[in-house]
Amino acid sequence: MSDQEAPALRVRGLYKFQRERSREVAILKDISFELPRGRFLAIMGPSGSGKTTLLHLLGGLETPSAGAVEIDGKDLAGLGERKRALLRREAVGFVFQFFHLVPNLSVRENVALPLRIRGQSGRSVVERVDALLAQFGLVAQADLLPPQLSGGEMQRVGVARAVIGEPKLLLADEPTGNLATGQGEEVLRWLRRLHAEHGQSIVLVTHNPRDAAYADEVRFLVDGALLAEPRLTGADVDAAKIHACLRDLKI
């Protein structure tokens, strides 16, 4: 299968063990799934279910104990830290719950960071950044530092930074976890627009059914295992049905 046809993400038999005291504990067990291009997948689970660990493995920030992750047809297995960083630079965008902006850099500089890491500079970078700032309503905040922004503004900057490099895959880890309801909804609408208008492939991990309802597909992660069922797609993806699944799963 050529890269053009490869799914945005393919995961096979993913395991992650962690040593606690003298024994090994399985954080993730036998995770396997595919994310077609342009798909918006939400993975739901309670606290401690391994959602963040899964996301970090998908983005190459951690290495699995077993299994394989392919991003845009490129296998992360066997890659050293440097090559994973290079792959992440080109193909992955992260949105974090705690925003994780570089505190010494302005909004403009934080958004431009991925391009500058790639070695790009000059007019093209400036224009791209300006366009995104306008798109995300951050023009007025362009020269402010992160401590001077509201939570919603910081997360918009985080999203802008994540997408400026046109990554093959966008990974969002509880992006609304530290935001007020209104701010959170605003961020999710941005994610939805990116998906709808630009065909962005997105994996969102959350414990909030309202957030998951913005996705095309919802799956559930319980005790480190990705459940085959229930699995909501299409019209079934709404908050009420998601709530019902959670009740049934007793999570």
Partner 1 sequence: MLALRLVGAYLRAQPLRVLLAVLGIALGVATVVAIFTLDANTVAARLEARAGDEVRADLQATLSATAGKPDPESRAALVALPGVARVGTAGFTQAEARAAGASGPKAALELIGISGAVEAFGAFDLSAGGSWGETWSAPPRALPPLLVSEELARERGWGLGTVLELEAPPVSLDPVRRCEDGRWVEERSAGAAVARARPPAVVFEIAGLLRRFRLGARAAGRVAIAPLEEAARVRGVPALDRVIWIQRRAGVDLAELRAAVRAALPNAAVDSAVTAAIGEEPDERAFRNGVRVAGVLALVLGLFVIFHALSIALLQRMRTIAILIALGLTRGAIARLFLLEATLIAGVGAALGALLGLLLAKGLLVSGLTTLGVVEGGVQLFVVPWRQVLTLALLGFALALAGAAHPLWRSRSWSPDLILRTRDLPAGRGVFERVDLFFAAVLLVCIPLVYFFTIEVIGRDAERVLVVFLGGLAAFALILASLHLAPGLLGALIRLALWPARRILPLEAELVSRSMSGLFGRVVVGVGGLALVAAALVALRGMTDSLRGEVRAFADAALRAKLFVTLVPRDEQDPRSIADFRDRPLEGEWLRTWCAAQPEVVGYELASLRLDAPFPIRALPPEQARWGLLAERADLRERFADPRQPGLLISRRLAAFEPELLRRGTIALPARTRSGAIEVRVLGVCDDYGIFQTERSFGVIAPEFFRLFQCMDPEQISAFTLKLRSGAEAAAVVQRLESELGARFGVRWKTGEEKLAFELADIDRDFFLFDVILALVAILAGLGLLHSLWIAALERLREIAILKAVGFTPGQVRVLFGLEALTTGALGGIFGVLLGVPLLWLVIRGLRALSGLDLPFVLPWTWMAVAALLSALLGLAAGLLPAWRASRLEPAPQLRGE
The yes or no reply on residue 86 touching partner 1 (CB under 8 A) is: yes
The CA–CA distances, whole Å, from 223 to 137, 191, 203 equal 39, 27, 19
Among 58, 64, 168, 173, binds partner 1 (CB under 8 A): 173
Shortest reach from residue 92's CB to partner 1, in Å? 8
Amino acid at 139: V
Select 102 or 140, whichever has its Cβ closest to partner 1.
Answer: 102
Binding mask 120-139 for partner 1 (x = CB under 8 A): -x------------------
Q: Which is it for the CA torsion 136, 137, 139, 143, positive or negative?
A: negative
Does 193 bind partner 1 (CB under 8 A)? Our answer is no
- Residue 16 identity (one-letter amino acid): K
Binders of partner 1 in range 97-116 (CB under 8 A): 97-98, 100-105, 109, 113-114, 116
Q: Which amino acid is at 102?
A: V
- How near is the Cβ of 19 to partner 1 at its closest, in Å? 14
Question: How many residues in the shown chain lie near partner 1 by CB under 8 A?
Answer: 38
Rounded to whole angstroms, how far apart are CA atoms 191 and 182? 14
> Considering only 68-76, 82-90, 186-194, 209-217, which stretch makes contact with partner 1 by CB under 8 A?
82-90
Burial of residue 204, with CB atoms counted within 10 A of its CB: 0-12 exposed, 13-18 middle, 19 or more buried = buried
- Token pair 């990974």 is found at 171
Question: By CB under 8 A, is residue 7 in contact with partner 1?
Answer: no
Minimum CB separation of residue 108 from partner 1 in Å reads: 12
User: Does 184 contact partner 1 by CB under 8 A?
Assistant: no
Cβ atoms of 112 and 122 closer than 8 Å: no
Please report how many Cα atoms fall inside a 13 Å half-sphere around the Cα of residue 20, on the Cβ side: 6
Report the nearest approach of partner 1 to the CB of residue 1 (Å).
Answer: 26
CB 170 within 8 A of CB 194: yes
Q: Which of 161, 168, 195, 219 binds partner 1 (CB under 8 A)?
A: 161
Amino acid symbol at 50:
G
Q: Confirm if 159 and 186 have CB atoms less than 8 A apart.
A: no
- Summarize as ranges the residues that interact with partner 1 (CB under 8 A): 47-48, 51-53, 56, 59, 61-62, 81-82, 85-86, 88-90, 94, 96-98, 100-105, 109, 113-114, 116-118, 121, 161, 173-174, 177-178
